Amino acid sequence: MEKFDLDNILKIVSLDNELELNRASELQLKLRVMAKKNPELSIQRTHLRELIKKYEANYWDDINEITGRQIALSDIAEEIAQNERIFLTARKELIRSELKKLNLNQQDLGILLGHTKSYMSELLNGVRTLSMIDIISIHKLLNVELKFLIPTFLNDEKRAMLNQNFKKLKRSNLTINKKGLELEAI
């Protein structure tokens, strides 16, 4: 997801897979709304739209060339992106709820963390990645459990590497849970 942090968007030269396409699409929609308050975000939004068009022209343009595998990968990517969106929305609502209990708002949190109003909005909307110090500060200030602040999704490359490295361990008393990528004693 860091590739799609607001600071990195203009550095992206192409989308490389379906998950990136889904993430770019999600972010482009968020930026459409946010650009109304901050017109400078239109540049990143336009860049994302161009990347999306280019990717779709390369991989989805010819209906006769679309394979079942391509559709399956698209479905998986869509599910991952949806889970990320659900996590970010839940995190944002939890933070807002905890702020409300303290009679504070998002702008107040921005002041506490040393961020501008627009930067704080970008953080809570998932357009920028919360730094570890911001996460810890929110955890301490609002007493929010870390598991609700830190996304625990692994990208496909990292999952594959962990699976491959697990096989190198050659431990007959352990297995790896495919869905959660957790080690289990057998």
Model pLDDT, residue 2: 76
Model pLDDT, residue 76: 86
Tell me the backbone φ, ψ of residue 125, rounded to 5 degrees: -85, 0
d(C-alpha 74, C-alpha 127), whole Å: 22
d(C-alpha 124, C-alpha 126), whole Å: 5
Give the pair of three-digit tokens for residue 75: 């479905």
pTM: 0.80
Task: Give every residue of the chain whose pLDDT is below 70, as ranges.
Answer: 1, 154-157, 159, 172-186
Model pLDDT, residue 102: 96
9-30 confidence digits (pLDDT tens): 999 999 999 989 999 999 999 9
